[in-house]
Structure 1
């Protein structure tokens, strides 16, 4: 059997570039967490997450060198102050890792589907397995400490049923009561409320510690958007007598010393905004009540506009690293004419 060694496709280059950016950011964040964590039950989870990111960067470095591709700048030691005072509580750090593991599993699943070369697929399949293991271990610690926010319970159904009216799809009616939420819709409302809780606390912490006025303003706007979305999702649940997820943890200290560079925190919130938009699209597709679908669509637009303003700040300050691009043929032709 002939073994071919084709060059990387555009999709594979996009995947390894994105993975490098994400892992280099995670290494900075987790390195800081390791310096300030106090709970000895949580420390091993942070260490595991750090080790995964560190190992991934080593493997990605090898791939970039092997393919003679320029290594992204990403995020380095200059983007983190390991000696900064404690900004987050231990329980929030654990919840953060659990949330980012969720984001990572979705990301790796997508990377796997875009790869054709065996070594690239193998890297991302291993990453998916490692991230799933991290999620499992962090969830177990959350459960053991009574910190895991469970999805709402509903009564077990006693029989199977089929939709017998088009009103099942309607979320608006002047004369009839809205049908109850189904389990699929509840699950997505719960998860989107949970992710916005994390986003709200992170954006507040970044606003609290950033010295840049534009960043502060944008982060506070992000906090307000997250809290607004949390209320919409909570209202949708409570109006159907389903409890909304609540976290009692304080999460953030009073420290105003920045542990991370503005470049890093802007990238981080942009990453979470992109993940949130993807979650809303999935939730809209899975929901069958039209009022929920419309909510997800309008909230997605709000997040997209917010992300666009964040990108403008990053470009203005030269913080946005450009992904690999194809050559501009027209520009090359004009240059040749000169």
Structure 2
């Protein structure tokens, strides 16, 4: 009896395709990290992350082959990685970067699982979610042991439950400056988005510093400026409530100007972070109950969207933007048939 194999849905194809692109990018970056990491406690974390991405590439390649779907080009050691480039990042930055990208991966795998129906695809993404959870857990332990983990602000424990008794609770705009204090949910999102923008700033600066392309340099510097501005806005909101914002060391990037990664890879990476940032802002806007915070997240999301769009245009101009699998253009197909 011939077994009828259920084909992948559009959601499953997009999830597998996106995973391949992300893991092929991560493998190049982590390979470079392995070349330069020196700390004996951080090296195992980098190796673990690299091994995860390498194993994922093999499994995803098998899925594409079994389903007879063309394998994405993605990113390769030959085309997108220069292992001869001098050291660009400190070990501390490598650890923070892996910890941050593990957070991005946790969100991605959760959504991939939710969009998948076929048992083997769900099993693959569930395994990826567990591996990424372990990576986040292990990297957090090392950050804590080295005193590098930046904890969210502490607040006094509540002594009783309460209910909102006035519409003034959501009003964040006041000429007299007597806004209600931030609640714990709003603090957590302001804190997290400050941290992610700090990492984004450093990455953008490192990519601008090493890119040989003037247009890429300008776009990366623009991204760094946007991230710095967003950090200032979120920091001000915390400081106005006498809450200490997260601190970050500037000792993260060396003075090397030799590019370890292709412009194609760095543009893709910043696009990935822009998408993750937009998602974070949307979640924060929905969770925040003070309307000044909601407005800030919405307008800053628009700024990120415009920045990401300009980056995509730059990739298209240089033929670096790989097209995801899509449906057949029936009108184009009909026109081509008429000309035969």
- TM-score computed with the length of structure 1 as normaliser: 0.98
1:176 to partner: Cα distance: 6.3
SS at match of 1:319: coil
Q: Supply the distance in 2 between the matched residues of 1:83 and 1:313 (Cα, whole angstroms).
A: 27
Q: How does 1:1-338 map to 2 (within 5 A)?
A: 5-77=5-77, 78-175=79-176, 177-338=178-339
SS at match of 1:74: coil
CA contact (8 A) 1:35 1:83 kept: no
Q: Supply the distance in 2 between the matched residues of 1:265 and 1:248 (Cα, whole angstroms).
A: 23
1:196 to partner: Cα distance: 0.2
Cα root mean square deviation, aligned: 1.1
Q: 1:3 to 1:170 in 2, by over 3 A?
A: farther
CA contact (8 A) 1:80 1:260 kept: yes
Gaps of 5+ in 2: none
The aligned length equals 337
1:250 to partner: Cα distance: 1.0
1:193 to partner: Cα distance: 0.1
1:175 to partner: Cα distance: 4.5
Q: Supply the distance in 2 between the matched residues of 1:129 and 1:249 (Cα, whole angstroms).
A: 32
Q: Supply the distance in 2 between the matched residues of 1:271 and 1:82 (Cα, whole angstroms).
A: 23
